Structure 1
């Protein structure tokens, strides 16, 4: 786990009873697992402070509202659930912004990237432009490069 139960109890403004301590420990484990999923598996001893903060935020958010209510009234006992967090309402979750932060901390940046691609078994000759790609059927290879000045 990326945070301790003592750190979680410092984040809430009431004294946790035995059931809340048990639920809080589970929430910390769930939030740590989610942080690993959205970010990466950081060693506990060197986990970034922001990851610990996000885990504590998610766990304390769950402790404050374990059922995911968006509205509650004392008179006539009205309860409501919102679709703001969809299937995550009533569970430990990270917001979109928190997920983005975890991805950035893990070195994952969304966007386009360029990846060099080469066919399996490509044989590069001694001169530029003689690369060949293996093929099925007659002949053993197909020219990969056609320009003697460079591969592209």
Structure 2
């Protein structure tokens, strides 16, 4: 399952792909689509956001343009250099900003959220019950805490 087609990828490249490059390009699209589903979510191909397709194409094209991940190359003394992307060098990858976009598209926005909090030993709201809260004094008998429909305390 790929979020973009080989023809769409060819349209982003400025050279004609030979047979080996076509095989590699198809694998790059699959890898980028798998990563997009991992960082985002497993969208159905037909309803995936347009930005997912754009990011998949961008990642696959980046890999095809520079499959070894070089950032510098000199012919004189054979100097090669790789970037600081580490383990992703020479593979299909998404940049940090692209990952953040995929997470946001999937609804995984970091930030403040609300969380239901319940006292120790009580039940969730709607289950009328008394609970006992452990205490830190002597005699160490638990303190009763009752849940009420009108007020949680």
Q: Give me the TM-score of the superposition, normalised by structure 2.
A: 0.81
Instruction: Report how many residues are paired.
Output: 142
CA distance in 2 between partners of 1:149 and 1:46 (Å): 44
Correspondences of 1:53-68 after superposition (within 5 Å): 53-68=54-69
Contact 1:122 1:134 in 2 (8 A): no
Change (3 A) 1:116 1:8: same
**Which residue pairs with 1:10 in the alignment?**
11
Contact 1:39 1:102 in 2 (8 A): yes
**Which residue pairs with 1:20 in the alignment?**
21
**Which residue pairs with 1:138 in the alignment?**
none
Deviations 1:124-146 (A, max 9, x none): 43xxxx532699xxxxx973447
Contact 2:122 2:147 in 1 (8 A): no
Q: CA RMSD in A?
A: 2.7
Contact 1:122 1:133 in 2 (8 A): no
CA distance in 2 between partners of 1:89 and 1:6 (Å): 25
Contact 2:3 2:52 in 1 (8 A): yes
Q: Which consecutive residues of structure 2, in runs of 5 or more, have no partner in the other structure?
A: 135-141
Q: Which consecutive residues of structure 1, in runs of 5 or more, have no partner in the other structure?
A: 136-140
Residue 69 (str. 1) matches residue 53 (str. 2)? no
